[in-house]
Amino acid sequence: MAQEDFGIVVGINDYQDPTYGRLDGACRDAEDFAAWLKSPDGGNVPKENVNPFTKLSDAGGNEPMLSHLLILLQNMRKRAAAGKKRVGRRLYIFLAGHGISPPELDEAGLLTVEAGDSVTPYLPGKQSADQFCLSARFEEVVLFMDCCRVTDLLLQRFTLPISEKPDPAAAGKIRRFYAFATALGKTARETDNAGVVRGVFSRVLLEGLNGAVLPDETGRMSTTQVRTYLEAELRKIKINGEEQTPHFPCKDEIVLAEGLTPRRLGVTLTYRQPAPSIAVLDGGNNLAPVTPENFTVISGGSRFLLPPGKTYVIQALDATGVATRMISLKLDAADVDDAIL
């Protein structure tokens, strides 16, 4: 199925006007996202569906101008077969650089290299993604934007100069997932990690896509799990005492990867008193029974594996199956070696 997927990837570090300071991470973030898209262990998108639609700024700030990106969008439309509108199954869009947002819209705009005091050209990310949906060019559209969303009351709302007939019936079935790096009026940050500058949002996103987001019980990784991971991990990062809170204008669930090995964490349980048996219950699902994997009896206790990301209730049972004592155990990201029941 990924053979029908495509990616538009843009990273802008350098701008012509010194008003917009040079960024250090946007191009690297874009390159890393493109690498994930093309990786067999990532998006598994054919390189010929990504490379022609990848634009990185040059050191002189000569491109990409807004006109270059509009041509990029139009070239993607031209990938449709003659007489057809459908291009493929899924479109990924990744935009990183300085950003701005019209105050009255739930939008994020990527400033292009010619931006200055008297002109503020920007590519509206959500509007660009929506146009592919409204004309049913793809069945799924995934948008990630690592851009500031600062507002300016004088900013003119920009409308893409691309007009095509919408398909309302088909558009209503398109699944969309859009993620902005930050909230309206807020800045997106870069930080130095081990000597490498990255956008905070992009770094967390790529860590998640490259394995930190845990697949579900069927081995699938979806946008729902990515969203949960982004919210949780960005909440842990404070710059000058302020969190960078992501925003999700569209939240449809889209399966990004399948066939992954569901992760398991080890639990080593020590008994205060001998227990003929134990019961493991799902603390978040009406105490539904859970069967531990690789259950092993050890001296004074037991060892087993459980899916992470949940809270479990573990009961010690007597010979008649009655619970005599219990503990609550939350499994996040590490093995538990010293639980005592």
- Check whether 119 has a pLDDT greater than 90: no
> Distance between terminal CA atoms of the chain?
48
- Check whether 33 has a pLDDT greater than 70: yes
Give the predicted TM-score (pTM) of the model.
Answer: 0.81
CATH architecture of the domain with range 265-340: Sandwich (2.60)
- Check whether 156 has a pLDDT greater than 70: no
**pLDDT tens digits for 273-319?**
888 899 999 887 678 899 999 999 999 999 999 887 778 999 999 98
Choice between 253 and 264, residue whose per-residue pLDDT is larger: 253
Residue 2, pLDDT score: 79
Q: Which ranges constitute the DSSP H helices of 45-103?
A: 66-77
C-alpha distances in angstroms, 175 versus 142, 153, 220, 247, 261? 9, 32, 17, 17, 25
Residue 335, pLDDT score: 83
- Check whether 170 has a pLDDT greater than 90: no
128 three-state secondary structure: helix
Measure the CA–CA gap between 256 and 6, rounded to whole angstroms.
13
C-alpha distances in angstroms, 290 versus 1, 126, 248, 270? 34, 42, 33, 19
Residue 216, pLDDT score: 81
Q: CATH 2.60.40.1120 residue ranges in the chain?
A: 265-340
Integer-rounded Cα radius of gyration of the chain: 24
Res. 48 pLDDT band, cuts 50 70 90: very high
For residue 104, what are its two tokens?
Answer: 């009255």
Q: CATH 3.40.50.1460 residue ranges in the chain?
A: 2-257
Residue 38, pLDDT score: 96
**Backbone φ and ψ of 77, nearest 5°:** -60, -35
- Check whether 65 has a pLDDT greater than 80: yes
- Check whether 217 has a pLDDT greater than 80: no
Q: Tell the residue number behind the tokens 């503990």, with chain if given.
A: 327
CATH 3.40.50.11740 fits 2-257, yes or no: no
**pLDDT tens digits for 188-200?**
999 987 788 999 9
The DSSP call for residue 155 is: P
